[in-house]
């Protein structure tokens, strides 16, 4: 347990900043799981630091728990505000992706890929109300006990348990992606090969009958794309639209799953995430909002 009373030099702000930096990676992942945006997650974590720097930190016994509570409350407030703006968003809103090279170079990168919360789960979490989402993320994803979750959401432990239970049912009702990254890549490569070859039947082989394509071009898109549903409609959509991008695709890991990056990694034109289950593609998410593509590499 991280405490602020053990071995702390008197009036040492640098010491406190160092302890905060140790907590920052976990806090960012909590905030990202709540918000689906790396930029907003960083804002929430920075706000937590400002609140810590203004607080009576001598009264804090468990820094990690205190900061998790503060970040959770900040995210809860941000989600409630954002829900009003989301009603005016053109087309489909998709999370800001976490993109990594397919060839992970060290154990830390492997761990980050394994711990990344998937696009499929983030999209399901978007259907929950803010309190349900926070209770599920804190308990089911990060393992906080319900008495601590209750303190964050401002409910009783029993009520917090009910919030997480309702969220869990929604998550379980959604398709569960394959966990094997090698198998995912094999399916994604078969899909891309069929698209390059213009092979309609081969595309149908790797598409789930209920597959959907969603595209997020950002809040300033003049012509937001509507989702495309059904294997045949998606196959026709791919053959009609993908030709000019296929030569620009590079395999990457998107939120821990097989994906593709479009264009120059330093200035990508888009990121494609695949949700794959039972060796078929269930969903294709195309993120082309310029604001969500900054700083991907």
Residues 6+ apart with CB under 8 A from 44: 27, 31, 34, 35, 71, 74, 75, 78
On whether residue 107 sits in a domain, the answer given is: no
186/288 same-domain check: yes
Tally of structural domains, the chain: 3
pLDDT digits (tens, 9 = 90+) for 3-26: 554 555 555 778 889 999 999 999
CATH classification at residue 76:
1.10.1740
Structural domain boundaries enclosing 235: 181-293
On whether residue 231 sits in a domain, the answer given is: yes
CATH classification at residue 253:
3.10.450.50
Q: Inter-axis angle of helices 63-86 and 146-153, to 10 degrees?
A: 50
Side-chain half-sphere exposure of 175, counting CA atoms within 13 A:
18
219/187 same-domain check: yes
According to the model, what pLDDT value does residue 282 have?
97
pLDDT digits (tens, 9 = 90+) for 248-281: 999 999 999 999 999 998 899 999 999 999 999 9
According to the model, what pLDDT value does residue 2 have?
46
User: Model-level pTM?
Assistant: 0.87
On whether residue 165 sits in a domain, the answer given is: yes
According to the model, what pLDDT value does residue 11 have?
54
pLDDT digits (tens, 9 = 90+) for 94-153: 999 999 888 755 555 555 555 568 898 999 999 999 999 999 999 999 999 999 999 999
According to the model, what pLDDT value does residue 170 have?
93
142/236 same-domain check: no
CATH classification at residue 133:
1.10.10.10
On whether residue 109 sits in a domain, the answer given is: no
On whether residue 1 sits in a domain, the answer given is: yes
According to the model, what pLDDT value does residue 87 have?
65
> Helix (H, G, I), strand (E, B), or coil: what is residue 108?
helix
């Amino acid at each position: 347990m991280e405490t602020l009373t053990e071995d702390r030099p008197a009036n040492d702000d640098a010491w406190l900043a160092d302890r905060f930096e140790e907590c920052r990676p976990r806090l960012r992942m909590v905030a990202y799981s709540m918000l689906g945006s790396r930029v907003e997650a960083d804002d929430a974590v920075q706000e937590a630091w400002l609140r810590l720097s203004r607080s009576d930190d001598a009264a804090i016994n468990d820094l990690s728990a205190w900061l998790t509570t503060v970040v959770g409350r900040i995210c809860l407030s941000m989600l409630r505000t954002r829900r009003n703006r989301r009603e005016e968003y053109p087309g489909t809103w998709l999370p800001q992706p976490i993109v990594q090279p397919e060839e992970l170079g060290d154990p830390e990168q492997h761990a980050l890929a394994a711990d990344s919360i998937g696009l499929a789960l983030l999209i399901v979490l978007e259907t929950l109300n803010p309190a349900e989402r926070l209770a599920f993320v804190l308990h089911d994803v990060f393992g906080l006990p319900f008495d601590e979750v209750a303190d964050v959401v401002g409910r009783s432990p029993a009520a917090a348990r009910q919030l997480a239970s309702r969220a869990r049912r929604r998550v379980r009702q959604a398709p569960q992606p394959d966990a094997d990254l090698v198998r995912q890549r094999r399916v994604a490569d078969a899909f891309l090969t069929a698209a390059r070859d213009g092979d309609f039947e081969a595309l149908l082989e790797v598409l789930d009958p209920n597959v959907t394509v969603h595209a997020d071009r950002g809040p300033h898109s003049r012509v937001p794309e509507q989702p495309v549903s059904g294997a045949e409609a998606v196959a026709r959509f791919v053959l009609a639209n993908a030709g000019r991008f296929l030569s620009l695709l590079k395999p990457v890991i998107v939120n821990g799953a097989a994906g593709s990056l479009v264009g120059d990694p330093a200035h990508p034109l888009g990121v494609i995430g695949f949700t794959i289950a039972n060796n078929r593609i269930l969903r294709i998410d195309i993120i082309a909002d310029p604001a969500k593509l900054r700083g991907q590499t």
